[in-house]
Amino acid sequence: MTDPIVLESDTDPAPAAPFTPAEERAMRQALDQAQNAWLVGEVPVGAVILRDDADGLPQVIATGYNRPITTTDPTAHAELVALRHAAQLLDNYRLPDCTLVVTLEPCAMCAMALMHARFKRIVFGARDPKTGAAGSVVDLFALPQLNHHTIVAGGCMEAECGAMLREFFAERRAAHKARQAARRAPAEDDAIPVADVTVDDPIPIGVAVEIDPDPPVPPDARGAPA
C-alpha cells in the first residue's frame, strides 16, 4: 500500500485576507467621501474611522474628506478631518481602539498625527509616490525609535482609489489647457469698432455731430471797412 499523497494545500492554511469585509466596506464609503472632495474642487481623498461596538462589530464613527482649500487650512487632510470628528465624539485625544481607512497613503503630517492618537491600524488604498509616508517615500510607521507602532496595510481597492485620482488630475489638466488656449486666442473685441448705422439713420450722439456751414460772405463786403 502506497502512502497517500499529501498536497501542500492540505497542510498549509490559506493565507488570511489582508483586509476584512468591514474594511472594504469602509473603503467604499471613503471613496464616496473622496467624491465629495472632488465636487468642491479638492483633491479627492476620503477617510473613514472604524471602532468595534460592544458586540465586537466594526462601526463607522467618523468620516472626512480633503478640504484644505475650502477651509483655508493646510492641515485639513481627510485623515485629520475624520480624526478630529472621532476624538470629539469619543471625548478622547487617544483612539487606540480605532482603525482608519483612507483612499490615499498618508503623508508625513497625517502619519505622525495618527500615531500620536495611537490608532491600532491604518488601511489605505492608492500609494503616493511623491509624499507617501507609509513606505512610498518614507516609512514613518516602521521607525523603531518611536514609542507607538501602528499596523499598516496598503493596497485596499487600490485600482479604484488610483483611478479616481488620475481622472481628477486629468480633468484639471484639461481645464488648465483650455484656459491657456482661451488666453492665447485673439479676442473678438480687437477689431476696430464700426457704428451700426445706415445712410438714412440719424447720426447717434457721440459718433459724429452735424454742424451747419457758415453763410457765404458777399464780395463787396470783403474789402469794406468795418
pLDDT digits (tens, 9 = 90+) for 116-148: 999 999 999 999 999 999 999 999 999 999 988
Q: For cell 467618523, what's the residue?
A: 62
pLDDT tens-place string over residues 58-94: 999 999 999 999 999 999 999 999 999 999 999 999 9
At residue 169's C-alpha, the angle toward residues 164 and 172, to 5°, is 130
Residues marked as catalytic: 79
pLDDT at 207: 45
pLDDT digits (tens, 9 = 90+) for 98-108: 999 999 999 99
CA-to-CA separations, 36 to 42, 148, 212, in angstroms, rounded: 9, 32, 71
Which are the contacts of 94, defined by CB distance < 8 A and separation ≥ 6?
A: 117, 118
Residue 208 has pLDDT above 90, yes or no: no
Compute CA 133 distance to the chain's CA centroid, rounded to the nearest angstrom: 18
Other CB atoms closer than 10 Å to residue 202's CB: what's the count? 7
Residue of 124, 123, 97, 114 whose CA lies nearest to 149: 114
Overall average pLDDT of the 165-175 stretch: 95
**One-character DSSP codes across the chain:** -PPPP--HHHHSPPPPPSS-HHHHHHHHHHHHHHHHHHHTTS---EEEEEEE-TTS-EEEEEEEE--TTTTT-TT--HHHHHHHHHHHHHT-S--TTEEEEEEE---HHHHHHHHHTT-SEEEEEE--TTT-TBTTS-BGGG-TTSS---EEEE-TTHHHHHHHHHHHHHHHHHHHHHHHHHHHSPPGGGSPP-----TTSPPPTTT----PPPPPPPGGGSSS--
Global confidence as pTM: 0.74
Q: How far is residue 174's CA from residue 158's CA, in Å, rounded to a whole number? A: 24
Query: What is the structure's pLDDT at 217?
Result: 60
Residues 6+ apart with CB under 8 A from 42: 65, 66, 67, 68, 69, 70
Q: Rounded to an integer, what distance in angstroms lies between the CA atom of residue 67 and that of residue 40?
A: 8
